[in-house]
Amino acid sequence: MRKPKTYARNYEIPEEELTYSGSVSCPGCGATLAMRYALKALGPKTMVVIPACCWSIIAGPFPYSSLTVPIFHTAFETAGAVSSGIRAALDILGKEDITVMAWAGDGGTFDIGIQALSAAVERNEDFIYVCYDNEAYMNTGIQRSSATPWMAWTTTTPVKHPKDEPKKDIMAIMAAHYIPYTATATIAYPDDMIAKFRKAKSIHGAKFIHVLSPCPPGWKSEASDSIKLSRLAVQSKVFPLYEIEHGEKVTINVWPKDGGVPVSEYLRLQGRFRHLSDENIAAIQAEVDRNWERLVAKAKGSVYTELV
Amino acid sequence: MKKQTEARVITFTSEAEMPMMPASMASTLYNKTGSWRYMRPLYVNKTPPCNAACPAGEDIVMYLQLTAQGRYAEAWETIVRENPFPGVCGRVCPHPCESECNREHLGGAIAIHCQERFLADYAAAHDLGLPMPDVPQRGEHVAVVGAGPAGLSCAYHLRRMGYQVTVFDAGDKPGGMMRLIPEYRLPKEVLEREIAAIVATGVEVKTGVRLGVDVSLDDLKDYAAVFLAVGQSRSRRLGVPGEEATGVLPGIDFLARVARGQRVGLGEKVAVIGGGNTAMDAARTARRLGADVTIFYRRSRAEMPAIDEEVNEALDEGVRIEFLRAPVAVLTENGHVRGLRLTEMELGAPDESGRRRPLPVAGSEYEVACDTVIPALGQVADLSFLDAEVKSERGRIITDEKAATTRPPIFAGGDVATGFGTVTAAVGSGKRAALAIDCFLRGVERTFPDLAQNVQAAPRPHDAAVVRFEDLNTAYFEEEPRPRQEQRPAAERVTTFEEVNLGYGEDAALAEAQRCFSCGTCNECDNCLIFCPDVAVLRGPSDDEPFVFNYDYCKGCGICVSECPRHAISFEEEVKFAET
């Protein structure tokens, strides 16, 4: 293979591909790209646990797989429990070098799987739990979840009755478990995302990574805009990139360029927000600004010191 | 399951063949998702605006990208495939490329002229000779008349194609108008080196031969083709009384005498008439000879044809410029200049050049004292050698888009045909003629773009569409300032003919090249490969094809198209959906 030139880019991405072409994900699927980066970071010694979600389908119909690493398909609410079991089995076999990664959607994390997840991280099981968040039950036909943002259209929150509840703060919930590592990541920042997966792999104990995954059919956006939306989510501070160590030490990894962009730039590319009034957008902007200020305050006020 | 590289379809013919539990036995490669696609991404390099604007047709983006990788020799070779005068053009070209550069919007246009100059100086320091392609030598012999930039460029390109070439020039040394460019802008050794390199490719140069005096057009009929590039050597006259007085010294004659090292007595006060580059050169040269210099120009600063930087540098050096002033008479005393009578001007309606026509203000005449008057009102061609068959119009030889005159196989180019008036345009014109002469001699039909555009001798595949700033994905670019070029201080400049601009060193050149967006030209940033959700972008077999799409699996989402920072990927409707 030809050696890649890197002068035009200032970061490295592992060359090895651990996902296959031919998966049945929709064109422009953010979750598919997220898996590709995750496995590039974790390497072939990885086992993946997938509860009911888009990836149950993307991973391939029997007897095919779109991953080069083993996958265990399991029930909607069980990702935390099954991952704990697989971890225990591997440890008994002496295969401690194998990373266990639970890979669940927002439905399986925020709603249906939160009990098993909370229990597993409360026990500080040594695994990485990834929530790829496309902000609704996309696989079953775009029903709202507790990860769906305020005022977004879904099939169960139609334009006449858009969702009236804010998105659940899953990062705060996970940080409140005081687990070693909690982080956000998204596909427009592959270097940041790969660094976080590598860091998670290097840490013993429970790790939680929240990945924002644009979904063209569910967000009613152009397939070609998936990276752009991911980037705008970060630049508009709708989805800041940060990490929380031991529930306390907050670090913002990507600061929006030139103070960021208005949320309207992020919202206007998505059909699910097309019905928003100017007042709605102003309210979203105010909420995003408030959350950002709170995050910055947390990052500045972090006082965690390593226990000896 | 071991990693698979080929599609495998699993078929169960009975329940007994199925595994105990639903485990995977093959990869999803069996599923050719390319059939979903209704839009197809394609790697198509587009035309960068700098390349489109270069009168010599240089592949600017390509040599900036090679420079960015530290591949200086290859970068220099990329220039000289199109233009054998990078050292000259890097110093004296008005760089229309930089006016079009998309970087202008994020920190300032790339200093392309400094890059070109840096590469030329690198080639000189490393003694690189012009590389010649390995082509069979051809029997046809071509005569080129005029050893200026157009003639030498034509001769060089003909040599590259294997033709035998003899260049005739009326002067005692080849170089034409390039010889008149003052040393502080173009050191003689730079010019000598680049001319010598062209001669070294096997071009025969015969100096001291004036067409129409020492040889006639008919004497050249034994040559397979003739290229006329005699330039515009005659100064336009002032057309006012007193012009014949001693002390009236046309700009190019003055510059020629200084260039030859002759002493020129100017007196104390010098008046330069005109607003072009010759006027600036004459004024700044006179400053360096110790004179008090004033330029009188009949229009305003906005209409001045001189390169803006030259005007600023002249002002810095203490040259005064009086706008909206035109001479009415040269005042004489005993046959010698003693002053000028001038009139104030005002701008009227636009003329055929699009600039507002200057009109004298009645009753505004006044006199100034001066010892020397240097008219620099532009040049015209001396066409006295032409016969009736080679037609001319308004002082220029008529040529078609293939540089052919009305009497084949006589071709013409450079200022005598185009009047463009810059070295770079002349180089492009000479190259166009060389390519046209080659087609003519081989009996090959080829179309050429409009005369205003320039052709490339070694074009790489690209789409003619010019990439504009809106076409770029600027999320991948930061605002970065253009590095300053070191300049000799003005107070020191007026005492010496040493070069004013000091160019870029290697560090600045490297950093500046890396600031280039590489508009329309893939530079292997890997974005398409990194952002493909479906692993349908693969590394390609060679530098010419760095990536390939795996159309078996590409779903046509278009992420690669929108995330390409430089618009080097096109997106087209699949043929099966296109109207037939």
Reported CATH class of domain B237-378: alpha beta
A5: in domain: no
pLDDT value of position B446: 85
Task: Give CA–CA dist A172/A290, Å, rounded.
Answer: 15
Q: Does A143 touch chain B (CB under 8 A)?
A: no
Q: How far, in Å, are B130, B160, B161, B201 from residue B133 at the CA level?
A: 10, 6, 8, 11
- Quote the Cα angle for B385-B388-B389, to 5°: 105
In chain B, residues with a C-beta closer than 8 Å to the C-beta of A265 are none
DSSP B211: B
Task: Indicate left, alpha or beta for B57 from its phi (over 0: left) and psi (-120 to 50: alpha).
Answer: left
Q: Which of A70-84, A200-214, A225-239, B14-28 has the lowest mean pLDDT?
A: B14-28
Task: Give CA–CA dist B293/B271, Å, rounded.
Answer: 6
In chain A, residues with a C-beta closer than 8 Å to the C-beta of B27 are 20, 22, 60, 64-66, 68
Task: Give CA–CA dist B343/B326, Å, rounded.
Answer: 5
Residue in B9, B11, B27, B37 to test binding to A, most A beta-carbons within 10 Å:
B27
Percent over 90 (pLDDT), chain B: 80
Closest-CA residue in chain B for A69? B1
Mean pLDDT (chain B, rounded): 93
Task: Give CA–CA dist B137/B201, Å, rounded.
Answer: 12
- Residues 178-217 on A with a CB inside 8 Å of B are 187, 190, 216
Contact residues for B418 (Cβ-Cβ < 8 A; gap 6+)? B396, B425, B426, B429, B451
Assess whether the region B55-233+381-461 and the region B237-378 belong to the same CATH fold.
yes
Looking only at the bridges linking them, the beta strands covering B410-412 and A241-245 are unpaired
Report which listed range, A1-10, A235-244, B397-406, is most confident.
A235-244
Task: Give CA–CA dist A62/A85, Å, rounded.
Answer: 23
Contact residues for B312 (Cβ-Cβ < 8 A; gap 6+)? none
Determine whether domain B55-233+381-461 maps to CATH 2.60.40.10: no
A60: in domain: yes
Largest CA distance in chain B: 123
Nearest to B553 among A22, A33, A228 (CB): A22
- Quote the Cα angle for A128-A134-A135, to 5°: 110
For A289-304, what is each residue's pLDDT tens digit? Answer: 999 999 999 998 876 6
Structure token digits, residue B25:
């036995």
pLDDT value of position A207: 98
pLDDT: is B414 or B2 the higher one?
B414
For A125-149, what is each residue's pLDDT tens digit? Answer: 999 999 999 999 999 999 999 999 9
pLDDT value of position A2: 52
Give bridge partners of residue B227 from the DSSP assignment.
Answer: B144, B411
Q: Which CATH number is B15-46+522-573's, of 3.30.70.20, 3.90.190.20, 3.50.50.60, 3.20.20.70? A: 3.30.70.20
pLDDT value of position B219: 92
Domain coordinates in residue numbering, chain B = 15-46+522-573, 55-233+381-461, 237-378
| Mean pLDDT across A250-266 | 96
pLDDT value of position A1: 44
| Mean pLDDT across B391-400 | 90
For B61-100, what is each residue's pLDDT tens digit? Answer: 999 999 999 999 999 999 999 999 999 999 999 999 999 9
Q: Is the peptide bond before B187 cis (omega within 30 degrees of 0)?
A: no
Confidence of residue B542 (pLDDT cuts 50, 70, 90): confident
For A14-60, what is each residue's pLDDT tens digit? Answer: 999 999 999 999 999 999 999 999 999 999 999 999 999 999 999 99
A24: in domain: no
Q: What is the ipTM for the molecules in this complex?
A: 0.95
Task: Give CA–CA dist B350/B395, Å, rounded.
Answer: 23
Rounded to the nearest angstrom, the minimum Cα separation between A287 and chain B is 25
Strands (E), A1-77: 46-50, 64-65, 71-73
Asked if residue B431 lies in contact with residue B438, where contact means CB atoms within 8 angstroms, the answer is: no
Nearest to B539 among A4, A25, A71 (CB): A4
In chain A, residues with a C-beta closer than 8 Å to the C-beta of B33 are 21-24
Number of CB atoms found within 10 A of residue B349's CB: 7
pLDDT value of position B128: 95
Looking only at the bridges linking them, the beta strands covering B372-375 and B356-360 are unpaired
Rounded to the nearest angstrom, the minimum Cα separation between B485 and chain A is 24
pLDDT value of position B395: 87
CATH for A174 = 3.40.50.970
Task: Give CA–CA dist A231/A216, Å, rounded.
Answer: 15
Asked if residue A243 lies in contact with residue A302, where contact means CB atoms within 8 angstroms, the answer is: no
- What length does chain B have? 580
pLDDT value of position A303: 67
Nearest to B559 among A2, A71, A224 (CB): A224
Nearest to B50 by CA among B97, B83, B8: B97
pLDDT value of position A6: 55
Residue bearing tokens 């102003």: A282
pLDDT value of position B449: 80
Strands (E), chain A: 46-50, 64-65, 71-73, 99-105, 127-133, 181-186, 206-212, 241-245, 249-254
pLDDT value of position A307: 54
Mean pLDDT (chain A, rounded): 95
- What length does chain A have? 308
| Mean pLDDT across B116-131 | 96
| Mean pLDDT across B305-317 | 92
Report which listed range, A211-215, B252-256, B359-363, is most confident.
A211-215
Q: Does A28 touch chain B (CB under 8 A)?
A: yes
Structure token digits, residue B317:
């050096």
Rounded to the nearest angstrom, the minimum Cα separation between A306 and chain B is 36
pLDDT value of position B259: 92
For A147-199, what is each residue's pLDDT tens digit? Answer: 999 999 999 999 999 999 999 999 999 999 999 999 999 999 999 999 999 99
Nearest to B247 by CA among B180, B342, B331: B331
Q: What is the residue-wise DSSP string for B83-136?
A: -S-HHHHHHH---HHHHH-GGGGGTS---HHHHHHHHHHHHHHTTPPPP-----
The kind and range of the H/E element at A54 are: helix A54-58
Instruction: Please give the tally of structural domains in chain A.
Output: 1
pLDDT value of position B579: 60
| Mean pLDDT across B204-218 | 93
A308: in domain: no
For B253-282, what is each residue's pLDDT tens digit? Answer: 999 999 998 988 898 999 999 999 999 999
Confidence of residue A5 (pLDDT cuts 50, 70, 90): low
Task: Give CA–CA dist B52/B112, Å, rounded.
Answer: 14
CA Rg value for chain A: 19
Q: How far, in Å, are B42, B340, B454, B457, B517 from residue B59 at the CA level?
A: 22, 48, 11, 10, 14
pLDDT: is B379 or A81 the higher one?
A81
**Parent domain of A151:** 30-301
| Mean pLDDT across B393-417 | 91
Task: Give CA–CA dist B347/B357, Å, rounded.
Answer: 5
